[in-house]
Amino acid sequence: MLGEAEPQWLSEEVKTGTTIIAIEFNGGVVLGSDSRVSAGESVVNRVMNKLSPLHDKIYCALSGSAADAQTIAEMVNYQLDVHSMEIGEDPQVRSAATLVKNISYKYKEELSAHLIVAGWDRREGGQVFATLKGLLTRQPFAVGGSGSSYVYGFVDAEYRKGMNKKECQQFVVNTLSLAMKRDGSSGGVAYLVTIDEHGTEEKVILGNDLPNLFNQ
């Protein structure tokens, strides 16, 4: 048989349609993401870790086009290494976010990725920065990706100032769980990264261990 049609997913752009969230607490930050990567209607990777380290205590969460997001993260990782050698100490979270913002803004027509940058530094403690489309803004928490639309109401209602580390981790897990249930492009497992002055802790929560908040 001649000319067998190639599967649709080979010609579709690979996107991390996703849910990402980062939240600041007194003394650090918690980042969370799902793990689904889709090309059109196929899930091409169900265990991708979208929380990418930019430096020891600075991570970013990737969303949008998988290629664009990964490239930005790698470029900023390199630029931050050079920068931290130049200044002789650990870089500030704001510097990392600015580097991401510079790339996002300069190439905003070509790129379609949104990175949330979060981390801990000695000067300002835990910080979360959103860099959507080249904007740079510090926020107490940020959500992004296709799944974030479904949980805006939930995070608006549930976020309180002054949550401690455990409460923030629970908040992130609950939010991811709700978004993954509703968004077709989010799913798989939940990755959690907690950064504070003592170090960085990475955690995976498997799909069946996610809280089931849906009561019907």
Partner 1 sequence: MEKHYTDSKVKGVSTGTTILAAIFDGGVVIGSDSRASIGGEYVSSKTINKVIQVHDRIFCCMAGSLADAQAVIKSAKSHLSFHSVQMESPPLVIAAASVLKELCYKNKDELQAGFLTAGWDSKKGPQVYVVSLGGMLISQQVTIGGSGSTYIYGYVDAKYKPNMTREECLQFATNALALAMGRDNVSGGVAHLVVITEKGVELKLVCSLIELLLIFHEELNE
Active site amino acids: 18
Buried b (16+ CB within 10 A) or exposed e, 17-49: bbbbbbbbbeebbbbbbbbbbbbeeebbeeebe
> CB-wise, 59 or 171, nearer to partner 1?
171
By CB under 8 A, name the binding residues for partner 1. Answer: 140, 149-161, 174-175, 178-179, 181-182, 213-216
Q: How far is the CB of 142 from partner 1 (least distance, A)?
A: 13
CA distances from 148 to 7, 24, 134, 169 (A): 29, 17, 19, 17
Asked if 90 and 120 count as a contact pair (C-beta separation under 8 A), the reply is no
The answer to whether the beta carbons of residues 137 and 93 sit under 8 Å apart is no
Nearer to partner 1, 92 or 177 (CB): 177
C-beta of 111 vs 176, nearer to partner 1:
176
Minimum distance from CB of 168 to partner 1 (Å)? 15
To the nearest whole angstrom, how small is the minimum distance from the Cβ of residue 128 to partner 1?
13
